[in-house]
Structure 1
């Protein structure tokens, strides 16, 4: 789950601003989410390949250039254009969100390289649990005992995956865990920003701040790229825009509570790519731990959705 793919939380807010889709389109929304997760998983596989050959900062920088162009294109099509999209009363918060996301992307792609797609995604799947745990101190939300129980069970699953203290424990697993924590923080700040800014504004700042920050740092890491890898990079950038557009459409077609559990299919698709194309293996403890984490995560998403309905709102 790597950005610009990680900006999907902004895309969810962006679609939510436009209202929930009719219930009879829920099935179509679920199909769209399944296709979206497949596209994102394929992007992770391409990112893993490119980052193993070239500097990660350069790879992510090029992706962000295209992502920023996509964000700007969306902004220009809306009423008020770029001026309205960029308008915010909390620029430091919006900039911090963008920078955290940039940091998270690079860390997660490093996890793909050192840990593989299977285990990196298995660990990253815990981010909804981290969001649930931190939503109290950061957002002031009430976390009931049921969700705390699910959070505790989910982290037992993470321990099963990591196997700390066992000889086969990989320190690289901590990279994926750090990425999940950063993405959870990014998601919480996105919710916080949504209290005063529109989704379009958050989406705009995510892309532009990230592209600017990466250009300042990543341009010095430029390396010559072979023609075949430029082709892969082009596919990566184009599908990123397609994936984000499709995700926005997904949340226009169906309520978030109906389609969000299917986002975990990205883990399945990424694992298939990791096993078939990169020769990775699915260890028994990873499969068991992932099942525990996913079940706990789906439960917290369900409880979160019920809590929002009780409060009378659907915004993330």
Structure 2
């Protein structure tokens, strides 16, 4: 079946993907509160790298074909950037919780739209610039500068959003010469090497129950990436991407029910503004294409 005939399946897979990733974020928060963030992310990346190699092995040409690229520096930078972004975001979970971290992080599609001009040379029309400006008003509503004492920890998920936006733009740039399989392989390999060089210095002994949680974290990481791959195989990205915002919904529900977090009115309002602006930019990009 063609992609256009599988939109419903693609949406279902995206919803499952966001649920799994939200669950992964909750487990990451639980483990990072007891152990060093670098160690937690390192073990997670070991399993991710094994998954990437397994996927590459099943493709035509095997691992060697997947690793072949004419832009190794760019691909390595992508993988390193994503690994460090995961560390920053998990740190944000421990400092702010799932609800407010994801609320601030939700602005990353707007950052992608804003930076697509200077990095990729794409034209950003006035409508999308207006949407970007409105989205950042939503960020200010969440942060409330000048209304109350500004929480400096709120900067952490914003930094993660910027890093993830840059990762996404570099991925688009790399796709001009490399296949998806090659970019995916380098994401896992470069990230695993980077986190091994960092995380090994922060190794801590874990309890048996936490090793079980670590196992679940690794499985959800692999499952989430597999579901995302399948999602983009059966449906156009522009059709299913708006449903990626459901990760914010699932993460917020997990934060409230499991970790006892609260959703402040300004955070809820800011998220609505950001998501609305983000959906508009996605719609404009689809119309442009």
TM-score normalised per structure 1: 0.90
Pairing partner for 1:208 from 169, 189, 192 = 189
Alpha-carbon separation, structure 1, partners of 2:207 and 2:200:
18
Task: Give the deviation of 1:207 after TM superposition.
Answer: 0.4
Q: Distance in 2 between matches of 1:250 and 1:203?
A: 15
User: How far did 1:249 drift?
Assistant: 1.1
2:211 corresponds to 1:241: no
Residue aligning to 2:17:
36
Q: State whether structure 2 residue 274 is matched by structure 1 residue 296.
A: no
- Counterpart for residue 121 of structure 2: 140
Cα distance in structure 1, aligned partners of 2:13 and 2:159: 29
Q: Distance in 2 between matches of 1:109 and 1:131?
A: 21
Aligned residue number for residue 3 of structure 1: none
- 2:27 is aligned, of 46, 49, 64, to 46
1:222 to 198, 203, 206: 203
* One of 50, 57, 60 as aligned partner of 1:76: 57
Q: How far apart are residue 169 of structure 1 and its match?
A: 2.4
What does residue range 241-260 of structure 1 map to in structure 2 within 5 Å? 241-260=222-241
Q: 1:196, CA displacement in angstroms?
A: 1.0
Q: Deviations over 1:248-301 (max 9, x none)?
A: 111122211221111100000000000011010000000000000001001111
Which residue is 2:90 aligned to?
109
Deviations 1:116-167 (A, max 9, x none): 1000000000000001000000000000001001000000000000111232
Q: What's the counterpart of residue 86 of structure 1?
A: 67
Matched residue pairs, number?
289
Instruction: Give the superposition deviation at 1:304.
Output: 1.2
Contact (CA 8 Å) 1:21, 1:252: kept in 2 or not?
Answer: no
* Conserved? CA contact 1:32–1:247, under 8 Å: yes
Classify the secondary structure of the residue corresponding to 2:31: helix
CA displacement 1:80-129 (0-9 Å, x = unmatched) = 11111111111111111111111111000000000010000000000000
- Distance in 1 of aligned mates of 2:44 and 2:109: 25
TM-score, scaled relative to structure 2: 0.98
2:153 to 147, 172, 176: 172
Computed over aligned residues only, the root mean square deviation of the Cα atoms, in angstroms, reads 1.0
Measure, in 2, the Cα distance between the counterparts of 1:22 and 1:201: 22
Displacement after TM superposition at 1:21 (Å): 3.7
CA displacement 1:190-215 (0-9 Å, x = unmatched): 11111111111111111001101111
Q: Residue by residue, what CA displacement relative to the aligned partner does 1:26-84 show, whole Å, maximum 9, x if unpaired?
A: 11211111111111000000000000000000000000000000100010101111111
Q: Residues 23 and 220 of structure 2 are in contact (CA less than 8 Å); yes or no, is this contact kept in structure 1? A: no
CA contact (8 A) 2:29 2:94 kept: yes
Give runs of aligned pairs for residues 246-285 of structure 1, distance below 5 A. 246-285=227-266
Q: How far, CA to CA, are the matches of 1:224 and 1:105 in structure 2? A: 22
Change (3 A) 1:200 1:162: same
Q: State the distance in 2 between where 1:73 and 1:300 align.
A: 35
Q: How far apart in 2 are the matches of 1:96 and 1:250?
A: 25
